[in-house]
Every structure is written in structure tokens, then in C-alpha cells.
């Protein structure tokens, strides 16, 4: 297991996209400011999708126009097709393109109107174009651990998709447990199998949802097989609008608490995350799923037994 990890904060995009409360552009920028204040250097800030499909992301360009200029921070924008890619490039502030390719036809058609083959074609085209332009572009394989419509997704299929995507030159490949069905043994097996075909030089990232209370365990399992970048969402908000009964990502506070207690190095402040989570709870008008935001960090104690 690596002695350090990089955390990618996804609450401004994957977190907010499934919330019934639509935050204002200014509130989204405040959330991003909280993430920056906590120490994040990778933040997924928006997705460039049709506003009728995901209304929460209708102001993607407005958010990008007001992002703080930080040379030490990578702002990522999610795109699902060429039109979204052009929109992201036009902002002038997106540092990294994020692509999604589904591992099942049924989910791909629900999520982005594409079969697996169509998603691969679109993804490879965008990845190759970004590489020619000198723009960082990474790709996530959605429903890598199970599909809400087709059930089991075989590791061999995920490996085949990863192999074909790697040929187009992404800067990173992620496996996503989009509906939170993964378990640690499957996580380790999938990442090991993908690593074998894409090679040690390809960075791998893990994206987990906590729908069935296995998200943090899966993050630990991914770390056990050398994955050194993990996605998480402040407060544990999130979920896919096109997956039935979808719930949030693993909570950043919960993940950071575990990493701190394990003495795994990272650059994020738990104290400032808790401040961010309290603010987000108020902005959304509800209690957030995060356990640590309710319980707090490790008790200091007062010296009494």
C-alpha cells in the first residue's frame, strides 16, 4: 500500500447533480472555496451536459468563469460527448477533461444515450484529440462493479474497456462503483486485472459510492493494491440521476479520518472539511450522510478516566 494518496473532491459535480435542492452559482463557488481551503488540489467542478438532463449543472460555464485562479490546483470538467468537450474547452479555465464510458449497454443508454461501443468510440476520439492538443484528459469506467439494469458486470469486460481506452492515451483511468454494490475482494481483483493490462505507468483512480455501506472498505481495498487517487464528496452527497435508488459518494470527512488514523499522507485538513460539511448541510437544508461530520474527529480527552 502506498504511504500517501491524492484525494479528488467531487462534491461540486457528482455530489450536487443528484440533489433536489439546486444551489446558486455563488453557493457552488463557495463550496469550491471550502474545498480549496481544506487543501484540495484536484476538484471536479462541473459537468457539461444538457441542462434538461441534469438541471443542477445548467450553470457550468458561469461556475467556471469565476473559479479562483490557482496554478497549484487542477479543475476537472466532466464531458459525455463531443459537444460537452467543446463547451469545456471554451471555458478556458478547465485544466482537465473527465470522460465517462459505461461498462454496460443499458446504463450507458440511460446515462448518456450511448451503448458501450458508442461510448468507447466517443471516448477514444476525445481522448486522442485532447492528447494532440496537449490537454490532460482522463476517463472513468462507470458501473465497473455492477449495473442497476443488467446486474453483474464481469471483470473481463472492464478489462477490455480499459485496454481500449488506454490505447487513446488518457492521463488516468478510474473504475467507478456507480451504484455502490462493490465489495473489497472484487475491488482488489478488478484493479489488479486492469493494472496487468494497462501497465504500471498508467495512473489508476477509484470512485466509490456508499449505497450499501461498503464504500470506505472499498477505498481501503483499492489502496491495498496500489491505487493512489481516491474520489470523495464533502458530506457524502451525490449519486447518479439515472440509477434507481442512487445515494452518495463516500464522504470526504470519513475517508480523511481513516487516512489520518492510518498515518497515510495526504494534503487535506479534517477540521476544515468539517467546517465545509456544516456549511453544505445548511445550504442544502438537510443532515448529510457523513458519519464523521456528526461524530467529529478522534476525541482529545481531558486526562480523566
pLDDT, one tens digit per residue, over 185-220 is 999 999 999 999 999 999 999 999 999 999 999 999
What percent of the chain clears pLDDT 90, i.e. is strictly above it?
Answer: 92
Residue 24 has pLDDT above 70, yes or no: yes
Neighbour-count burial of 272, counting CB atoms closer than 10 A to its CB (0-12 exposed, 13-18 middle, 19+ buried): middle
Give the pLDDT band of residue 145 (cuts 50, 70, 90).
Answer: very high
Write out the three cell numbers for 256. Answer: 480523511
Q: Which of 233, 256, 229 is nearest to 246 (CA)?
A: 233
Answer yes or no: is pLDDT of 242 > 90: no
147: annotated active-site residue? no
Catalytic one of 97, 130, 216, 240: 240
Q: What gap in Å lies between CA 280 and CA 34, rounded to an integer? A: 10
Q: What is the dihedral of CA 122, 124, 127, 133, to 10 degrees?
A: -90
pLDDT of residue 302: 65
The confidence score (pLDDT) of residue 107 equals 95
- pLDDT above 60: residue 148: yes
pLDDT tens for each residue of 25-54: 999 999 999 999 999 999 999 999 999 989
- What number of other Cβ atoms are within 10 A of residue 81's Cβ? 20
Mean pLDDT of the chain: 96
pLDDT in tens, 91-139: 999 999 999 999 999 999 998 899 999 999 999 999 999 999 999 999 9
Going along the chain from its start, the domains and CATH numbers come out as 6-295 (3.20.20.70)
Write down the pLDDT at residue 179.
Answer: 95
pLDDT at 305 exceeding the cut of 60:
no
d(CA 73, CA 279) in angstroms, rounded, equals: 22
Poorest-confidence range of 63-72, 165-174, 295-304?
A: 295-304
In the block, residue with C-alpha cell 464522504: 251
Helices (H), ranges, the chain: 25-38, 60-65, 82-91, 105-112, 116-133, 155-166, 184-198, 215-224, 252-262, 270-284, 292-295
Percent of the chain at pLDDT exceeding 70:
99
Q: What's the predicted TM-score (pTM) here?
A: 0.96
At residue 244 the predicted structure's pLDDT band, cuts being 50, 70 and 90, is confident
72's CB contacts (< 8 A; 6+ apart) are 41
**Confidence band of 239 (pLDDT split at 50, 70, 90):** confident
Amino acid at each position: 500500500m502506498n504511504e500517501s494518496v491524492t484525494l479528488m473532491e467531487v462534491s461540486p459535480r457528482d455530489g450536487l447533480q443528484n440533489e433536489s435542492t439546486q444551489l446558486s452559482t455563488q453557493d457552488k463557488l463557495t463550496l469550491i472555496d471550502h474545498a480549496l481551503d481544506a487543501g484540495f488540489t484536484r476538484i471536479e467542478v462541473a459537468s457539461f451536459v444538457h441542462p434538461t438532463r441534469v438541471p443542477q449543472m445548467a450553470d457550468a460555464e458561469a461556475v467556471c468563469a469565476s473559479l479562483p485562479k490557482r496554478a497549484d490546483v487542477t479543475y476537472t470538467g466532466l464531458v459525455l460527448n463531443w459537444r460537452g468537450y467543446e463547451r469545456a474547452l471554451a471555458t478556458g479555465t478547465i485544466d482537465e477533461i473527465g470522460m465517462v464510458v459505461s461498462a454496460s449497454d443499458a446504463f450507458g443508454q440511460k446515462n448518456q444515450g450511448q451503448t458501450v461501443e458508442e461510448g468507447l468510440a466517443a471516448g477514444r476520439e476525445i481522448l486522442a484529440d485532447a492528447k494532440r492538443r496537449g490537454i490532460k484528459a482522463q476517463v472513468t469506467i462507470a458501473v465497473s462493479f455492477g449495473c442497476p439494469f443488467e446486474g453483474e458486470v464481469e471483470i473481463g469486460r472492464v478489462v477490455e474497456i480499459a485496454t481500449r481506452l488506454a490505447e487513446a492515451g488518457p492521463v488516468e483511468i478510474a473504475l467507478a462503483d456507480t451504484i455502490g454494490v462493490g465489495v473489497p475482494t472484487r475491488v482488489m481483483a478488478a484493479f489488479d486485472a486492469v493494472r496487468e493490462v494497462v501497465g504500471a505507468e498508467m495512473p489508476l483512480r477509484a470512485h466509490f459510492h456508499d449505497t450499501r455501506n461498503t464504500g470506505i472498505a472499498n477505498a481501503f481495498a483499492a489502496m491495498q493494491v496500489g491505487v493512489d487517487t481516491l474520489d470523495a464528496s464533502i458530506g457524502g452527497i451525490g449519486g447518479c440521476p439515472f440509477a434507481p435508488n442512487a445515494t452518495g459518494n463516500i464522504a470526504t470527512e470519513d475517508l480523511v479520518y481513516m487516512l489520518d488514523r492510518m498515518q497515510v499522507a495526504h494534503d487535506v485538513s479534517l477540521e476544515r472539511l468539517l467546517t465545509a460539511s456544516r456549511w453544505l448541510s445548511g445550504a442544502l437544508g438537510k443532515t448529510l450522510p457523513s458519519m464523521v461530520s456528526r461524530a467529529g474527529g478522534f476525541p482529545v480527552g481531558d486526562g480523566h478516566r
